């Protein structure tokens, strides 16, 4: 038991968000890497520690997948912007491999040129997109402890011009005998791209599962997370999920920004709620998430997951 407690403390110390507290504020590149990978993750305030489908963000979760699993997600954002992702997890005894893709497309953008009178005229359209291809591995070290690491190749294309970079992630998870577990890690760490830093962050999350057998059928899970970014932005997240016999899932979450060095939060405090539902039958699962963005409207995200 002492060894287990020590392992948890060591993991928290290694990946503690305090590591990031002293980082200088500034503009980051590839901010689409902050987007949730699946609809279930989006509905749970963006927490990446609930299931193995979040392995591109928390690779230690892949170790808990006991069957091959493939998922695909699509989110329709505002002004024609859309995000799509796909990932595949292959368990191999004590470890699992995960391959993933994520892309943000900005749709058609008007191209304008300055005319002789100082005005602007339309000159067709161009496209822009951000994307990543990722590979990660999760290892079950003991019955209670898993760890994982991954790498992403990230690129951005705007009207034919391209920039690219490399991002790394690592995480560890401890599972107790009492239905709760703790996960900690870092995401999107790597060298600067075009003199701009990546949207790197560290997190510690805690999730507990409760089954009120004599009151309500099904299972409840509650989670909380503290996340810190390199640009001195901190988030406190809370989420919950109701699971009825692994058939129906109801999810909700809220992400509260604790600090923003740019002072630009404004009314966004009221727009960080998320909600979602899911349905599962044998090897097939579909999830939906709704996320409000104030005056910008709402985002609807869908995910399809198949277990082989």
Residue 1 has pLDDT above 90, yes or no: no
Looking from the CA of 46 toward its CB, the CA atoms found within 13 Å total 19
How far apart are the C-alpha atoms of 208 and 175, rounded to whole Å?
Answer: 10
% pLDDT > 70, the chain:
80
Question: Highest-confidence range of 47-56, 148-157, 256-265, by mean pLDDT?
Answer: 148-157
How far apart are the C-alpha atoms of 55 and 61, rounded to whole Å?
Answer: 6
How far apart are the C-alpha atoms of 2 and 99, rounded to whole Å?
Answer: 35
Residue 85 has pLDDT above 90, yes or no: yes
More reliable by pLDDT, 254 or 77: 254
Q: How confident is the model at residue 3 (pLDDT cuts 50, 70, 90)?
A: very low
Q: What is the mean pLDDT of residues 296-306?
A: 87
**Looking at residue 214, what DSSP letter applies?**
T
Given this model, what pLDDT does residue 214 score? 72
Q: How confident is the model at residue 116 (pLDDT cuts 50, 70, 90)?
A: low
Residue 6 has pLDDT above 60, yes or no: no
b vs e for 277-292, b when ≥16 Cβ sit within 10 Å of the residue's Cβ? bbebeeeebebbbbbe
How far apart are the C-alpha atoms of 182 and 234, rounded to whole Å?
Answer: 19
**Which residue do the tokens 């060298």 mark?**
191
Give tens-digit pLDDT for 163-206.
999 999 999 999 998 889 999 999 999 999 988 899 999 999 99
Q: How far is CA 111 from the centre of its chain?
A: 32
Residue 301 has pLDDT above 90, yes or no: yes
Residue 288 has pLDDT above 70, yes or no: yes
Say which range, 133-147, 165-179, 203-217, 260-274, has the weakest mean pLDDT: 260-274
Start-to-end CA distance of the chain, whole Å, equals 36
How far apart are the C-alpha atoms of 183 and 207, rounded to whole Å?
Answer: 8
Give tens-digit pLDDT for 21-66.
334 444 788 989 988 889 999 999 999 888 888 888 899 999 988 8
Residue 110 has pLDDT above 90, yes or no: no
Rg of the chain taking only CA atoms, in angstroms: 20
**Which residue do the tokens 């992630």 mark?**
169
**Helix (H) or strand (E) segment spanning residue 301:** strand 298-307
Residue 92 has pLDDT above 60, yes or no: yes
Dihedral sign computed on CA atoms, order 43, 292, 131, 233: negative
Given this model, what pLDDT does residue 260 score? 52
Q: What is the mean pLDDT of residues 72-95?
A: 89
Give the DSSP letter string of 122-170. Answer: EEEEEEEEEEEEEEEEEEE-SSSEEEEEEEEEEEEEETTEEEEEEEEEE
| Joined tokens for residue 226 | 């503290």
**Which residue do the tokens 């591995």 mark?**
137
Residue 136 has pLDDT above 90, yes or no: yes
């Amino acid at each position: 038991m002492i060894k287990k407690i020590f392992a948890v403390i060591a993991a928290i110390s290694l990946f503690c968000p305090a590591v990031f507290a002293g980082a200088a504020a500034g503009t980051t590149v590839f901010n689409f890497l902050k987007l949730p990978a699946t609809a279930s993750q989006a509905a749970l305030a963006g927490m990446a520690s609930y299931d193995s489908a979040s392995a591109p963000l928390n690779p230690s979760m892949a170790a808990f997948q006991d069957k091959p699993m493939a998922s695909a997600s699509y989110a329709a954002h505002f002004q024609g912007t859309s995000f799509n992702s796909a990932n595949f997890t292959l368990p191999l005894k004590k470890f699992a491999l995960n391959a993933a893709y994520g892309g943000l497309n900005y749709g058609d953008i008007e191209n304008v040129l300055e005319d002789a009178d100082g005005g602007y005229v339309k000159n067709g359209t161009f496209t822009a997109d951000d994307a990543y291809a990722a590979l990660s591995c999760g290892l079950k070290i003991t019955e209670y402890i898993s760890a994982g690491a991954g790498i992403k190749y990230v690129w951005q294309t705007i009207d034919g011009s391209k920039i690219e970079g490399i991002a790394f992630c690592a995480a560890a998870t401890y599972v107790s005998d009492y239905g709760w577990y703790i996960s900690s890690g870092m995401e999107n760490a790597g060298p600067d791209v075009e003199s701009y830093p990546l949207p790197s962050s560290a997190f510690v999350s805690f999730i507990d599962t409760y089954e009120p057998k004599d009151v309500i059928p099904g299972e409840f899970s509650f989670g909380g997370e503290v996340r810190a970014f390199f640009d001195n932005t901190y988030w406190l997240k809370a989420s919950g999920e109701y699971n009825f016999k692994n058939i129906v899932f109801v999810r909700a979450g809220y992400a509260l920004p604790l600090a923003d060095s740019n002072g630009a939060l404004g009314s966004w405090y009221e727009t960080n709620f998320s909600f979602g539902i899911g349905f599962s039958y044998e090897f097939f699962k579909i999830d939906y998430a709704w996320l409000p963005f104030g005056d910008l409207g709402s985002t609807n995200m869908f995910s399809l997951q198949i277990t082989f």
